[in-house]
């Protein structure tokens, strides 16, 4: 026998609760004519760190990236390597506990120079397979598969990678000069300060999946958050550019 609640649900009088953790696979989609980016590449580096030495020089030890289709919410490709630190090869106990990365993983990792080369090849492959375009789109751009990078704060590309490349005299891919700071975008769009990535997800009723401070896991969860924000009507715009003469701003739209 059907309950009153069952009948009300069938008649559309009662809202069903969605599992927002699987929001990327729901029928809800951002309006295609609002999003200028067909794809977003989410980065989340893990670096050497110490409990007491907060201003110690840091090196990347995990280099993950995930390719998010903004129309479907599906991660279509991933890039992931552990990186061998060269300036201070031994990880601190604090670093190993925080990130879950072992000394063996970084000892068997690849130097950042080689990792950047492999990353460039991955980007080249995506450009050929999916027609990705990394130039900032104009306001009326609709044809090309425009793409940019997303990070949780400006630290990954504006501090960590930038400083390490300068110290080691490494050439980083020029595409990494533009990105979206999702933390700043989240704060602007929802008009509230998020308590970290996990807190931002929790505020939207989404459960963080996996181990926090694992780079690849954080990147996947950031992709989940970015897609949910687009479903809520947030239009993603580049917020930071290292290219001279390029103006950036956070633009939002609630649908």
Q: 10, 46, 62, 80: which is the annotated catalytic residue?
A: 46
Distance (Å, whole) CA 117 – CA 17: 45
Q: Report the Cα 220 to chain-centroid distance in Å.
A: 7
Instruction: Show the DSSP H helices in 11-147 as ranges.
Output: 93-99, 103-107, 112-130
The residues, any chain, with a CB within 8 Å of residue 225's CB and separated by 6 or more, are 182, 186, 197, 200, 201, 204, 206
Q: Is 46 a catalytic residue?
A: yes
Beta bridge partners of 241: 178
Q: Distance (Å, rounded) from C-alpha 12 to C-alpha 104?
A: 56
Residues with a catalytic annotation lie at 46, 213
């Amino acid at each position: 026998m059907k309950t009153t609640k069952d009948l009300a649900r069938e008649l559309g009088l009662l809202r069903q609760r969605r599992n927002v953790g699987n929001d990327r696979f729901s029928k809800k989609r951002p309006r295609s004519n609002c999003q200028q980016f067909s794809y977003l590449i989410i980065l989340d580096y893990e670096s050497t760190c110490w409990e007491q030495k907060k201003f110690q020089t840091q090196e990347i030890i995990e280099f993950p990236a995930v390719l998010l289709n903004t129309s479907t919410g599906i991660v279509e490709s991933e890039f992931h390597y552990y990186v061998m630190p060269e300036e201070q090869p031994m990880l601190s106990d604090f670093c190993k506990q925080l990130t879950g990365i072992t000394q063996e993983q970084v000892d068997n990792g690849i130097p950042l120079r080689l990792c950047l080369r492999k990353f460039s090849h991955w980007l080249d492959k995506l450009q050929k397979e999916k027609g990705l375009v990394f130039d900032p789109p104009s306001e009326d751009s609709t044809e090309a598969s425009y793409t940019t990078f997303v990070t949780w704060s400006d630290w990954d590309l504006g501090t960590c990678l930038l400083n390490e490349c300068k110290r080691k005299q490494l050439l980083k891919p020029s595409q990494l000069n533009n990105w979206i700071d999702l933390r700043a975008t989240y704060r602007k769009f929802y008009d509230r300060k998020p308590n970290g990535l996990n807190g931002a997800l929790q505020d939207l009723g989404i459960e963080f999946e996996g181990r926090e401070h694992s780079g690849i896991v954080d990147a996947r969860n950031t992709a989940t958050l970015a897609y949910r924000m687009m479903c809520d009507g947030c239009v993603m715009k580049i917020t930071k550019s290292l290219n001279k003469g390029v103006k950036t701003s956070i633009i939002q739209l609630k649908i």
